[in-house]
Amino acid sequence: MPRQSRSPVLAAALAIMLLLGLAGCRSSAAPPAASAPSAQTPSQPASSSPAATSPPAAVGQPAASSAPAPPSGPLEVIKMADAKALPSAPLYIAIEKGYFREQGIEAQLEHVAGGADVVPFLATGDLDLNLGAISVGLFNAFERGADIHVIAPAGIQPLHDASLPLVVRKDLVDNGEIRQAADLRGRKVAINTRGASVEYVLSKIMERAGYSVNDVDMVPVPFPDMPTALANGSIDAAIPAEPFATRSVDLGVGVKLIKEVIPGQMTTMIMASGKLLRERPDVVKRWMLAYMKATREIQPPQLGVSDPAKLFTPENVKILEQYTGAPEKVLRNQVPYTWDVDLEIQVDSLMDQQLTHMRNGLLQLDQPIPAEKMVDGTYVEYARQVMGRLRQ
């Protein structure tokens, strides 16, 4: 069952703030050997994936060398924000199947209403980890020197029929008013929030059509309300996250005009408190082993390719229903999220999203924030050394 924090002050505070925009092998790793927590040699850069590279670990972070042994005493608590969403599937699997406990860890979830901004709590160390989206707010936090680090990827966009497609009102497609992205110029297009992954996707769509995202009328609409907004004609198009994109099509109110926009790219990631990384690096290493094991259990090796048979086993469906609150029919009737079995941090994608928001005028920086200020690849590199690579 989900473990919830018993801090009412933190839980209450989390519930009233906005969460950063959204708008494994079944065999266990070999028992790791002990490692001195004081090791401070930075890791080497992770090797590149088709759309991703990993930078050197941040100076002062521990090297990925030998695996620390899980302690025999009380479980180490890791506090993590949870928005009850499918991108967190590896986390839920690792909790319920005991992979964190195998590593001497109790994953304690702070359930937050869909949108609490947890960055301040990460920066102070009141929270340890968060699965969040890449957004303008995150880049601003890095610019201010917030004590947080990106330590792993989370959700990866599918290669085909993506989970963030451009959906256009069916009547506008049927009568020929909108046939291509260029026809969106001056039209009302719904996004869940400004400055996050959805605006980045819309930016890419409009740039390829020869326009800017500022050439459309962006209308903030929560994901669950997008099918209704398409049906009543208050918007002309939308970029709904799943399952709301598929729901719009099933209701007969929308058509997926463009399905693949950023195939194989990272849109959510795991962020860590600097306090956690400094004070308990061995625990983060063990956490990453459990997270990689769960990811490999539900995701095939190919980047951006899903396998519903692996993801939606009867046991996994029960876990996902329990944590997300979505019934099996809804879970299955959507374009599945994908993950990366080797946990390569896509620095290229992270930097491109930063530059895109700068071009759009929403992120006002004199210079882009360098990757080494944001990303620490130590822990994913360590997990790959222990568990090996799956993707060639």
For residues 42 and 63, give the distance between their C-alpha atoms in angstroms, rounded to a whole number.
Answer: 5
Q: Look up residue 165 and give its DSSP letter.
A: -
- In this prediction, residue 298 carries a pLDDT of 97
Do 8-157+265-387 and 166-258 have matching folds? yes
Q: What is the CATH number of domain 166-258?
A: 3.40.190.10
- In this prediction, residue 113 carries a pLDDT of 52
- In this prediction, residue 56 carries a pLDDT of 39
Angle at 162 between CA 80 and CA 335, to 5 degrees: 75
Backbone angles phi, psi at 314, to 5 degrees: -55, -40
- In this prediction, residue 119 carries a pLDDT of 84
Domain 8-157+265-387 listed as CATH 3.40.190.10: yes
Q: Look up residue 310 and give its DSSP letter.
A: H
- In this prediction, residue 107 carries a pLDDT of 95
- In this prediction, residue 118 carries a pLDDT of 84
- In this prediction, residue 133 carries a pLDDT of 87
- In this prediction, residue 117 carries a pLDDT of 66
Residue spans per domain, the chain: 8-157+265-387, 166-258
For residues 158 and 178, give the distance between their C-alpha atoms in angstroms, rounded to a whole number.
Answer: 25
Judge contact between 292 and 383, C-beta under 8 A: yes
- In this prediction, residue 349 carries a pLDDT of 95
DSSP secondary structure, 23-38, as one string: ---SSPPPPPPP--TT
Non-local CB neighbours of 373 within 8 Å, separated by 6+ positions: 142
Pair type for strands 188-191 and 217-220: parallel
DSSP secondary structure, 195-261, as one string: TSHHHHHHHHHHHHTTS-GGGSEEEE--GGGHHHHHHTTS-SEE-PPTTHHHHHHHTTSEEEEE--S
pLDDT tens string, the chain, 392 residues long: the values are 544 444 443 444 444 343 334 333 333 333 343 333 333 333 333 333 334 444 433 333 334 445 666 777 899 999 999 888 888 999 999 999 999 999 999 999 987 654 446 888 999 999 999 998 899 999 999 999 999 999 999 999 999 888 899 999 999 999 999 999 999 999 999 999 899 999 999 999 999 999 999 999 999 999 999 999 999 999 999 999 999 999 999 999 999 999 989 999 999 999 999 999 999 999 999 999 999 999 999 999 999 999 999 999 999 999 999 999 999 999 999 998 899 999 999 999 999 999 999 999 999 999 999 999 999 999 999 999 999 999 87
